[in-house]
């Protein structure tokens, strides 16, 4: 071969060879969650749900023939550790980061990610602080406003009229917006919130004192805005000091069956919100439930299912996106995405909503009541 044709053909061949070599490069997805703090069951549930989805997709051939590599970092539910973890992930340039799992950590890392142009998607962050913003942060959970108004309506329908609230100020972007929305709706319905009692879970609080501060206002119901561990301890103190009161807790405490294990008989009768229908006979949900049990040798919780759905949303968008298309545009373009039970549809700001169900712990088992 001579002359001007040879060089272009050699270059084309080299580019094809390089493209072929790069085809096995993994698709990197980051995961940011609290995995070493006192409420790490929350982060572990999210991690497990993501792992289940990623492993299943890798067995099916990955994303267009490329394996998925999951890069995990622990934010420790602590500011400085979260910043370090976020900066490490940004430097590794994953396609997208799943997380964080709490609103308090989102308030720290989302500004960093936005400045870096890094897209994130959280299975669980719910604070209204992150709703309605055109940024790089997507959410798969409903807002604290939606959750609190729904919870207030359910409690009022079940006969509650005076609700005392204990809430964890360590996750204030979540708990504060939740409590404010609950109070507004409950008072609108005709009920009252005569007393609230805040505590800092990171400061080893006296839960006996937290409950004691609520009782002089004579509530008929105690509501806990706290993690599963702290909800279990609050229930134990409530049963000691006021055994006849109704007890209820938010989705934050819905990490599988651990609540019954940690709280024992004290959590019997507790009403709690869950992000899934426990009685769903559908094949997709049953496959998720059975796969989770087999992989992790334990029951799943709301956060595991939300994380599983989130990872599958990410996988679907990565599979469908066109060459050169950024992941934010892909996520907004290729929905709705089908989760294990519910369809996930993002609005222009990357927000969505979700149907939620209520369960009651009876003799150590979660029984769906609505």
pLDDT in tens, 292-304: 999 999 889 899 9
Tell me, what DSSP letter sits at residue 63? B
Report, as an integer, the average pLDDT of 274-280: 91
Please report the pLDDT score of residue 13 as a whole number. Answer: 38
Report, as an integer, the average pLDDT of 150-176: 96
Please report the pLDDT score of residue 45 as a whole number. Answer: 92
Q: In which band, very low, low, confident or very high, does the pLDDT at 255 lie, cut at 50, 70 and 90?
A: low
CATH of domain 24-141+282-344: 3.40.50.2300
Report, as an integer, the average pLDDT of 154-181: 96
CA distance 231 to 289: 25
Judged against a pLDDT cut of 80, whether residue 8 lies above it is answered with: no
Q: In this structure, how many other beta carbons lie within 10 angstroms of the beta carbon of residue 41?
A: 22
Q: What single string gives the DSSP state of each residue in 84-104?
A: HHHHHHHHH--SEEE---SHH
Domain boundaries, the chain: 24-141+282-344, 145-274
- Phi/psi at 107 (nearest 5 deg)? -65, -25
Higher pLDDT, 19 or 224: 224
Q: What predicted TM-score, i.e. pTM, was given to this entire model?
A: 0.90
CA distance 366 to 153: 21
Report, as an integer, the average pLDDT of 252-256: 76
- Sequence-ordered list of residues with C-beta below 8 angstroms from that of 204, at least 6 positions apart, any chain: none
CA distance 285 to 278: 9
Domain 145-274 has CATH 3.40.50.2300: yes
- Phi/psi at 276 (nearest 5 deg)? -155, 160
Could you tell me what percent of the chain has a pLDDT over 70? 92
Q: What is the pLDDT of residues 131-158, one digit of tens each?
A: 999 999 999 999 999 999 999 999 999 9
Q: Where are the beta strands (DSSP E) in the chain?
A: 27-33, 68-74, 96-98, 120-122, 137-139, 162-168, 192-199, 221-225, 246-249, 271-274, 337-338, 343-344, 357-362, 365-368
Q: In which band, very low, low, confident or very high, does the pLDDT at 363 lie, cut at 50, 70 and 90?
A: confident
Please report the pLDDT score of residue 273 as a whole number. Answer: 92
Please report the pLDDT score of residue 202 as a whole number. Answer: 82
Please report the pLDDT score of residue 122 as a whole number. Answer: 98
Judged against a pLDDT cut of 70, whether residue 4 lies above it is answered with: no
Higher pLDDT, 277 or 39: 277
Closest CA to 234 of 248, 254, 244: 248
Q: What is the pLDDT of residues 340-359, one digit of tens each?
A: 999 999 999 999 999 999 99
Please report the pLDDT score of residue 256 as a whole number. Answer: 55
Please report the pLDDT score of residue 147 as a whole number. Answer: 96
Please report the pLDDT score of residue 329 as a whole number. Answer: 97
Q: What is the pLDDT of residues 31-79, one digit of tens each?
A: 999 998 776 888 999 999 999 999 999 999 999 999 999 999 999 999 9
Same fold, 24-141+282-344 and 145-274: yes
Tell me, what DSSP letter sits at residue 248? E
């Amino acid at each position: 071969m001579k002359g001007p044709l040879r060089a272009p053909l050699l270059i084309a061949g080299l580019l094809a060879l390089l493209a072929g070599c790069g085809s096995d490069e993994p698709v990197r997805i980051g995961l940011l969650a609290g995995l070493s703090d006192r409420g790490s069951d929350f982060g572990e549930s999210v991690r497990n749900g993501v792992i289940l989805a990623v492993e299943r997709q890798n067995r099916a051939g990955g994303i267009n023939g490329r394996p998925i590599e999951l890069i995990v970092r622990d934010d420790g539910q602590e500011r400085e550790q979260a910043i370090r973890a976020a900066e490490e992930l940004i430097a590794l340039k994953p396609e997208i980061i799943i997380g964080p799992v709490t609103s308090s950590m989102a308030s720290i890392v989302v500004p960093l990610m936005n400045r870096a142009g890094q897209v994130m998607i959280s299975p669980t962050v719910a604070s209204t602080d992150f709703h309605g913003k055109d940024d790089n942060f997507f959410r798969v959970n409903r807002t604290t406003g939606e959750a609190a108004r729904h919870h207030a309506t359910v409690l009022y329908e079940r006969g509650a009229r005076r609700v005392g609230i204990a809430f964890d100020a360590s996750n204030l972007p979540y708990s504060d917006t939740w409590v404010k929305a609950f109070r507004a709706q409950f008072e609108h319905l005709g009920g009252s919130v005569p007393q609230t009692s805040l505590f800092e879970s990171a400061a080893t609080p006296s839960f006996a004192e937290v409950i004691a501060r609520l009782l002089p206002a004579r509530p008929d119901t105690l509501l806990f805005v706290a993690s599963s561990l702290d909800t279990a301890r609050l229930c134990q103190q409530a049963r000691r000091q006021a055994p006849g009161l109704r007890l209820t807790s938010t989705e934050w405490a819905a990490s599988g069956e651990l609540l019954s294990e940690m709280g024992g008989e004290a959590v019997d009768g507790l009403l709690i919100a869950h992000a899934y229908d426990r009685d769903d006979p559908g094949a997709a949900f049953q496959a998720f439930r059975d796969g989770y049990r087999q992989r992790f040798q334990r029951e799943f919780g709301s956060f595991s299912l939300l994380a599983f759905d989130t990872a599958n949303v990410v996988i679907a968008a990565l599979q469908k996106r066109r060459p050169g298309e950024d992941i934010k545009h892909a996520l907004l373009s290729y929905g709705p995405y089908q989760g294990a039970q519910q369809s996930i549809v993002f609005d222009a700001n990357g927000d969505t909503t979700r149907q939620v169900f209520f369960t009651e712990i009876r003799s150590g088992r979660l029984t769906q009541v609505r």
